């Protein structure tokens, strides 16, 4: 069977699309962005699963609406131009169409709002936490404190040569797998935002206010995020690195961290000195 020119073009497009999808899947790495990635990052929590499904659902809806409107436009252009339709209809009302173009958009909005509210409640209704971590955004790094596990606090600064580029840090936030982690976040100087795409969380860290969010990582591994509120010249260089480990590994890490990061009362600004003496990404 011989293929038409259009058939060839369609086949070419399909192959290109499939190759693109396959390549993005091949590059995709859990917990971090991948080259040529054009989809959402792979999910590691129930919330992110929901976000991904909701995103796909909205994409289907907008695609159908766009194609429908495009179809109508083409029909008007082809069938009702001055040449093919010299005597235009004088119709001003059509009850059926008027009811339809009122009712159908309402139904579409209801179809969007129901999963939207479900997702909102899932995100905002924080379940009973197994662990609380306070993440403080500072110009330009994060400090994490573990009030439940021996009250230690430490700074997490980007390390320039560490992989993945611009995401590697000296001290990672460590959490146990399959445990509800409540994040309380605030800003020490200006507004920052704590965001980890694979967990589906993004929340402003505002000075003088304590915002809360939560995640329950279903997979172990490294998960990266970034400050997501423009906060100054090194905004792009204050990554968030979360290491999800087993319960036993977490307990062992806590023991080590307690000694390593023992809180030194009366020296709460020691971290600022640490930062000043560390070579920042801009070489300052």
Contact residues for Cu ion, defined by CB under 5 A: 192, 227, 231
Least distance CB 233 / Cu ion (angstroms): 10
Considering the complex, what minimum distance in angstroms separates the CB of residue 257 from Cu ion? Answer: 23
Q: Rounded to the nearest 5 degrees, what angle is found at the Cα of 158, between the Cα atoms of 152 and 163?
A: 120
**Cβ closest to Cu ion, residue 135 vs residue 227:** 227
> Smallest distance, Å, CB 186 to Cu ion?
12
Measured from the CB atom, the residue of 39 and 282 that comes closer to Cu ion is: 282
Helix axes 95-124, 46-79, angle to 10 degrees: 160
The two tokens of residue 186 are 């605030």
Cis peptide before 163 (omega within 30 of 0): no
In the complex, least distance from residue 135 CB atom to Cu ion, rounded to whole angstroms: 11
Cβ 47 to Cu ion shortest distance, Å: 22
Residue 106's φ and ψ, nearest 5 degrees, are: -60, -45
Residue with smaller CB distance to Cu ion, 195 or 217: 195
Compute the distance between CA of residue 52 and CA of residue 45 in angstroms, rounded to an integer.
Answer: 11
* In the complex, minimum distance from the CB of residue 229 to Cu ion, in angstroms, rounded to a whole number: 6
Locate 70 and state its tokens: 């495009």
Q: Which is nearer to Cu ion, 51 or 195 (CB)?
A: 195
The residue among 54 and 275 lying less far from Cu ion, judged by its C-beta, is 275
DSSP letter (8 states) at residue 268: T
Report which secondary-structure segment, H or E, holds 103. Answer: helix 95-124
Looking at residue 32, the DSSP 8-state letter turns out to be B
The residue (of 192 and 216) whose beta carbon lies closer to Cu ion is 192
* Burial (CB count <10 Å: 0-12, 13-18, 19+), residue 201: buried
């Amino acid at each position: 069977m011989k293929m038409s020119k259009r058939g060839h073009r369609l086949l070419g497009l399909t192959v290109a699309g499939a190759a693109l999808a396959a390549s993005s899947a091949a590059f995709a790495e859990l917990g971090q962005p991948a080259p040529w990635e054009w989809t959402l990052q792979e999910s590691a929590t129930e919330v992110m699963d929901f976000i991904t499904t909701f995103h796909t659902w909205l994409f289907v809806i907008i695609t159908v609406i766009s194609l429908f409107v495009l179809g109508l436009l083409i029909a008007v252009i082809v069938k009702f131009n001055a040449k093919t339709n010299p005597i235009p209809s004088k119709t001003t009302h059509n009850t059926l169409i008027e009811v339809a173009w009122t009712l159908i958009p309402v139904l579409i909005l209801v179809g969007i709002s129901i999963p939207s509210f479900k997702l909102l409640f899932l995100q905002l209704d924080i379940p009973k936490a197994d662990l609380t971590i306070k993440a403080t955004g500072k110009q330009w790094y994060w400090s994490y404190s573990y009030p439940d596990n021996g009250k230690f606090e430490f700074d997490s600064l980007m390390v320039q040569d560490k992989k993945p580029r611009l995401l590697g840090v000296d001290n990672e936030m460590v959490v146990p797998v399959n445990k509800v982690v409540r994040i309380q976040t605030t800003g020490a100087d200006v507004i920052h935002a704590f965001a980890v795409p694979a967990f589906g969380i993004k929340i402003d860290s505002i000075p003088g206010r304590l915002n809360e969010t939560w995640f329950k990582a279903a997979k172990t591994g490294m998960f990266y995020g970034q400050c997501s509120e423009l906060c100054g010249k090194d905004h792009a260089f204050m990554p968030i690195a979360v290491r999800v480990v087993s319960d036993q590994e977490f307990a062992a890490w806590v023991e080590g961290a307690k000694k390593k990061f023992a809180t030194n009362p009366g020296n709460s600004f020691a971290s600022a000195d640490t930062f000043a003496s560390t070579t920042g990404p801009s070489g300052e």
